[in-house]
Structure 1
Amino acid sequence: MHKARYIRTGSIVLASTMKSGDYFGIFQCEHCKTDLILTQEHKRHGKIVSAFFKHREAENDFQKRCPLRVENNSDKSNKEKKSNKSKELQSV
């Protein structure tokens, strides 16, 4: 997601226009009103990934169903790890 509401000003901002000091600000999804994490521009596998906002882990069904939420592979693997760990604890 490339735009979000910046709580400090109440305005909609683009991730690409944020300065380094803004990375500690509070950003909010326009749809589900969940806090977002601002991720800096970086390189991944030799390619530049633009700055973007990402959702934190969903706390309820409304947040899980947000049409602006993107689930990536690391989210899936973290859920699988948590699920496997809880299964292990239940079997003990």
Structure 2
Amino acid sequence: MDKLHRQGDEERVGFELQIAGARNIKAARALLSDYGNDIDKLRAAEPWMISAGTTAQAQTGATGLPNAGAATDESAQMRRWRRISGSEGDEK
């Protein structure tokens, strides 16, 4: 039963850090005990660890550039696949 309580407390702390906007939950959890398990004290002492907003922004990874080799229309895509398959000159 104690193990379940500990796991529940760990998950709760992790969720609270996530909601607070911690950039790295594992690192924030490791430092939290140094500040009396107070997220506000951690935020004040280590501002780089917790983002300014209420939640951490998800990384999208999009560059805004088209994918390399992506066809822009159906005929270009078919030409690309024919070139890849080696049947480029077999068109009717």
- TM bucket by the smaller chain? under 0.3
Structure with the bigger percentage of strand? 1
TM-score by length of 1: 0.22
Structure with the bigger percentage of helix? 2
TM-score by length of 2: 0.22
Structure whose CA Rg is larger: 2
